[in-house]
Amino acid sequence: MPGTIGDWTRDKLKILEDYLPAYLGATTRAWDRIYVDGFAGPGTNILEREDRVIDGSPLIALSARAVNDTKFSHLYFIEKEHDLAAELERKVAERGESGRVTVICGDVNAELPKVVHAYHKKAPIFVFLDPYGIDPRWDTIQSIARWKTELLINFPFGMAINRNRQSPKVPAYFGNDKWQQLWPPSGRTPTRELLDHYKKGLVSLGYKYTTPIDRLIKTQGNTRLYYLVFVSKVDVGARIMNSVLRQPDARGQAQLL
């Protein structure tokens, strides 16, 4: 059964849909071009306000093509819930793409390193991390940092971290105790400081290129949900993503960078 999503999710999916064809064009000469979705879901979503089914991130990546028709050589969809993984597998089969896809029912912290480590360290690997909660752990990100990975990460502050500060998942998410120093016992929630701390950690792992502004995803009522953080090992990735982020969002609203 497709998951029900709000209008704001379309913005995130549009960024992915706009970026992946350009990424594939830039990696055409590579022997392997790998896509990994760490929180894949069932593959399709129902837009809540329109009652319309749209493709989720796995099927967007599966359909992605560069101008020269280059596509991902293999795609890995990781999903912890058995029913959702089974539904996604069925949707992939319906599109006749089972040979190019591996659906993995398991936890991203265990499965993502296995997938990445199976490839040469210079193989371009795009990893989309759109968690339901406070995931993945920092040590999972560390474990794939030596490979030629690009990451598009949902930094789930408003949806998860801000509401669950006492969860043991929070220190595991940041990987150290510095976040506690940035978050005073009372008063203003230091969203920007925590996000910058997380990004500095990514830079320390060798991700040199990022975007100057992280897309903030909000509800129609202007409630802040999460930021999208992009990091890459190559400058062309950041140039392409900056170009994508300058485009109007899914609701046609212009972006200022």
Q: What is the pLDDT of residues 112-129, one digit of tens each?
A: 999 999 999 999 999 999
Residue 173 binned pLDDT confidence (cut-offs 50, 70, 90)? very high
| CA dist., res. 247 & res. 18, Å (int) | 9
Beta bridge pairs of residue 230: 152
How many percent of the chain have pLDDT more than 70?
89
Q: Are 124 and 34 in contact (CB under 8 A)?
A: yes
Rounded-to-integer distance, Cα 17 and Cα 14, Å: 5
Cis geometry, peptide bond prior to residue 136 (ω within 30 degrees of 0): yes
pLDDT bracket for residue 251 (50, 70, 90): low
Lookup: tokens for 252: 């046609």
CA separation for the pair 234, 150 (Å, rounded): 9
Domains contained in the chain, CATH given: 3-245 (3.40.50.150)
Least Cα distance to 103 among 87, 123, 119, 127 occurs for 87
Amino acid at position 15, single letter: I
Confidence band for 159, pLDDT divided at 50, 70 and 90: low
pLDDT at 256 over 60: no
Pairing of β 3-5 and β 34-37:
unpaired
Contact, 151 vs 129, CB < 8 A?
A: yes
Residue 77 CA: distances (Å) to CA of 34, 48, 186, 229: 11, 24, 40, 20
Whether the predicted pLDDT of 162 surpasses 50: yes
Tell me the pairing of strands 34-37 and 209-210. unpaired
d(C-alpha 28, C-alpha 73), whole Å = 10
The confidence band for 9, taking pLDDT boundaries of 50, 70 and 90, is confident
d(CA 19, CA 166): 36
* C-alpha distances in Å from residue 214, one per residue of 191, 242, 249: 12, 10, 13
Computed from CA positions of residues 93, 96, 98, 104, in that sequence, does the dihedral angle turn out positive or negative? negative
Residue 3 has pLDDT above 80, yes or no: no
- For Cα atoms 152, 217, 124, give the angle at the middle one, nearest 5 degrees: 10
- Least confident segment among 49-53, 105-109, 184-188, 198-202: 184-188
Q: What is the pLDDT of residue 257?
A: 43
pLDDT at residue 110, as a whole number: 98
> What was the pLDDT predicted at 216?
80
pLDDT at 142: 98
Question: Which residue, among 177, 175, 176, has the nearest Cα to 138 in the 3D structure?
Answer: 175
The pLDDT, as a whole number, for residue 160 is: 76
